[in-house]
Chains A and B, each alone.
Chain A
Amino acid sequence: MTGAGGQSWRTQKRVFATIATGPILWLLLFFIIPLAVLWAYSFGRNVGLTEIEISGTFANYAKAIEPLYLQIFGKSIAVAGLTTFICLIVGFPVALAITFATPKWKPWLLLGIMLPFWTNLLIRTYALMAVLRTEGYANQSLGWLWQLSSNARVVLGLQPLDAFEPLHLLYNNFAVVLGLVYVHLPFMVLPLYAALDRLDRSLIEASLDLGAGHFRTLLTIVAPLAAPGIISGVVITFVPALGAYLTPDLLGGTDSQMIANVIERQFKRANDWPFGSALSFMLMYATFIMIAWQAQRERKLMRTGIGPDVGARA
């Protein structure tokens, strides 16, 4: 970033006005105001079919913390948390591998991680549906393996196995978590890679040199120093996973609805906009808390010397 922020706007008022008016006005008109309206709605109530009165009531928030909705909130957080955890476990070795790949391989591995990231979310979810459904590729392959081992048993003179029962892989919580991991894995790998790539390799070498094994080095040196990357990976994965709509909608069953699906229902079917608005703001507050937590952790790490620029000294 540029230093403390360049020249004062006063020195070139007209230039500043020309440049600033468009973006600021657009942001105000089509982002801040809609959010403000949404916020106002969350304090309103339905009067009649289409009429809504902003009465300043907290009834919508009271409803939002009823056990039914609190439970869905809790479940969303749990699902997003589990997704984030799995992404971290799966993604860390991948990020490590990319970091230490040869210059020839590195861009290809990075591209390999980034390409799905750019592919349409809906299409990726659909592709997963085709894999997981009762007649999908996963069950097809499992059935084939089952048949194979059954045949093997016959050859060995044993009883053949019972007929293959397709697994119910779709429309349940498993499918939702798998889908969220599938969609969000690149979100985790890329910041982890960025953090690991900045790490001074001689720190790892020093640890090995002093007798530590690879795993110990990973835990005592790499992980603490990559903490900013891990935290930002966690937040970048957790936030969209928490607000995910499409994945639980397409892959989940009746019991795997997440908060975004409930919000959608208030607007499209239940037609209870004030309540939907309140839920939306609850989700947004949760998001902001996560981001504030990240910012605060990052500041703290900066203070202890593990800024994002660790090891940047040559």
Chain B
Amino acid sequence: MTNSPPNRANSDTAAIKPIIQIRNVTKRFGQLAAVDDVSLDIMPGEFFVLLGPSGCGKTTLLRMIAGFELPTEGQILIDGQDMTGVPPNQRPVNMVFQSYAVFPHMNVRDNVAYGLKIARTPKKDIRDRVNEALALVKLDGLGDRMPDQLSGGQRQRVALARSLVMRPKVLLLDEPLSALDAKLRAAMQFELADLQEKVGITFVTVTHDQDEALSMASRIAVVNKGLIAQMATPSDLYEYPANRFVADFVGSVNLFEGRLIVDEPERAVVECPALGRVYINHGVTGPHEGTVHVALRPEKISLYRQGEAPPAPDAPVGHNLADGVIKGMSYLGDITVFQILMPSGQVMRVSRPNLSRFDQEDFTWEDRVSMRWHSSSPVVLLA
């Protein structure tokens, strides 16, 4: 890996046993491998997110943990126990389904009590635990409603309470927020993270929405074509993507192909035909003179009128600097995104916060501009 930061989630868990161990799991549907020899460990108390585009195999992985799909090869261990041959109704995990799967013929209370009744919990305990769970998801007082009298968000809370009341070792959530509207989704992201902290249960969530993953997760596994592309904390994932797929999938990025011409412990230089020389303030241990890619996030680029860019304090002259013409502007309220056409013909995306009400008037179409970035900003991608 190029820029490997300390793995925070795992740093202090050497003594703790993982709650879920996935060992060389492969799932084939006919010839197609939906999950291809995946191994990963999930630690107790984590908010683990499987992030990937649709059809990448993340849901299949989740359903194999729940027991609804069986691995073609490999093993899944939950709390140290091999789950091979253990049916879903005997696994110490519970799932919140994408459609919520709230039983439409039972009221909220009966939905939440369903699992406890099957476990033959004493009546009094059932009542107490159901009330507790409903309070936890802020549904107190709605126990007698039927599901069709609830909003989408409330139905999801029922599904959450119904699973949490079982006190599972792991709660699995399949695209938990995809059916909610944007405002509610943002609110639920915080609430889910909050809830997870409160109950201390390990959450494993599947999503295709990077914002959702970044805001909720303690650790994220980016899944692509049945393989894990990268596993890291949200900030590491964003700041130190391991490959082009992750860089491109998580957040927005400008990618340039180039040749690695200097690679020393304290500095590296990549010569990009479309961008000029990019100076990086640390080594990348890549192939000498080999082809690499440079990733630059739009928000890490500063914009100046042409020729007015101050000299870089941390890079040699002529490095980390590019000129261009503004060809497109999208005013998004909090930021403005510029499309800047460079002499090489490639377009650079630059985003700029609208710090004052008049910032948007600084630059306009067809303005000639210079772009500059800090030598810690570019990420060199070897894959």
Contacts and interface: CB of A to CB of B under 8 A. Distances in A.
A touches B in complex, CB < 8 A: yes
Interface of A: 200, 202-203, 205-213, 216, 220-221, 224-225, 304-306, 310-311, 313-314
A305 B147 contact: yes
B70 interface: no
A164 B366 CA distance: 103
A212 B90 CA distance: 9
Query: Which 7 residue pairs across A and B have the least CB separation, nearest first?
Result: A210-B115, A206-B101, A202-B101, A305-B148, A202-B97, A208-B88, A305-B104
Contacts of B88: 205, 208-209
B98 interface: yes
B99 A209 contact: no
Given A202-B97, A202-B99, A205-B95, A211 B105 contact: no
Contacts, number: 75
B103 A211 contact: no
A210 to B, nearest CB: 3
Given A205-B95, A304-B146, A221 B118 contact: no
Interface in B55-88: 66-68, 87-88
Contacts of A216: 118
11 contacts: A200-B99, A205-B101, A206-B103, A208-B87, A211-B166, A212-B115, A304-B105, A305-B147, A306-B104, A311-B104, A313-B99
A209 B119 contact: no
Given A203-B101, A306-B105, A211 B118 contact: yes
Contact of A208 (B89, B119, B148): B89
A92 B52 CA distance: 39
Nearest to B110: A220
Counting chain B residues whose Cβ lies within 8 A of the other chain, the interface size class is 20 to 34
Interface of B: 66-68, 87-90, 93-95, 97-99, 101, 103-105, 114-115, 118-119, 146-148, 159, 162-163, 166
B76 to A, nearest CB: 15
A212 B105 CA distance: 17
Contacts of A205: 66, 68, 88, 95, 97, 101
A207 B111 CA distance: 10
Contact of A209 (B66, B103, B146, B148): B66
B218 to A, nearest CB: 24
Contacts of B146: 304-305
A224 to B, nearest CB: 5
Nearest to B104: A305
Contacts of A203: 101, 103-104
